Amino acid sequence: MFSKIKELDNKVLNNISRMHCPSLNLIMKTASRSANVGIIWWLICLPFLIRSEWRMTGFNFVVALAFAHVMGEGLIKHVVKRIRPCHSLDDDEQIINRPRFYSFPSGHTTASFAMVGVAILRCRPITFVPIILLAALISFSRVYLRVHYLTDVLAGVVLGTTCGMLSVFFFRAVGLA
């Protein structure tokens, strides 16, 4: 089964690499960099934390991001220890610098979909639809840039969404929602 997954992952990477062009490379680098250390998500949290009527949603976003980080970066990556696809590429094939840490699950995707999990349950469509679209772009950029396999990103979607939704359920259970 793992050989089939690896075969699919490599096929997806090869097909996506055919899309590479300077303008798309720039878009994907920008999308990916916007989520380095969760910067875009922390910026999105700010208005929620500032406005008193949105503050609990802002705190919910923060808790979801923290939970997702602990689960993905702190625990799962160090258990699975999957090597990134970029580590088998030559330097001239790289679009961005090689990340130092493990590949599974995608941290950028996990954080992005932790925000999605909260937004879907706590925000109106005018807010959660752009968050979903941004999360999808960031997630795709990680495969496009060949720093993650498709399955790393899919695991990040599941883990992040789960962390976001669990944080909302926790807030509701303790009366903070």
pLDDT digits (tens, 9 = 90+) for 90-112: 666 677 677 778 889 999 999 99
> Which residues, other chains included, contact 77 with Cβ-Cβ below 8 Å and sequence gap of 6+?
101, 102, 103, 104, 105, 107
Judge whether 46 lies within some domain: yes
Confidence of residue 168 (pLDDT cuts 50, 70, 90): very high
For residue range 37-69, list pLDDT tens digits in order: 989 999 999 999 999 999 999 999 999 999 999
More confident residue, 31 or 90: 31
Judge whether 13 lies within some domain: no
pTM value is: 0.93
Judge whether 143 lies within some domain: yes
Confirm if 68 and 159 have CB atoms less than 8 A apart.
Answer: yes
Judge whether 150 lies within some domain: yes
| Count of domains for the chain | 1
Q: What pLDDT is recorded for position 94?
A: 75
Range of the domain at 135: 40-173
Judge whether 121 lies within some domain: yes
Q: Residue 126 gets which letter from DSSP? A: H
Judge whether 155 lies within some domain: yes
Judge whether 7 lies within some domain: no
Residue 28 has pLDDT above 90, yes or no: yes
Judge whether 103 lies within some domain: yes
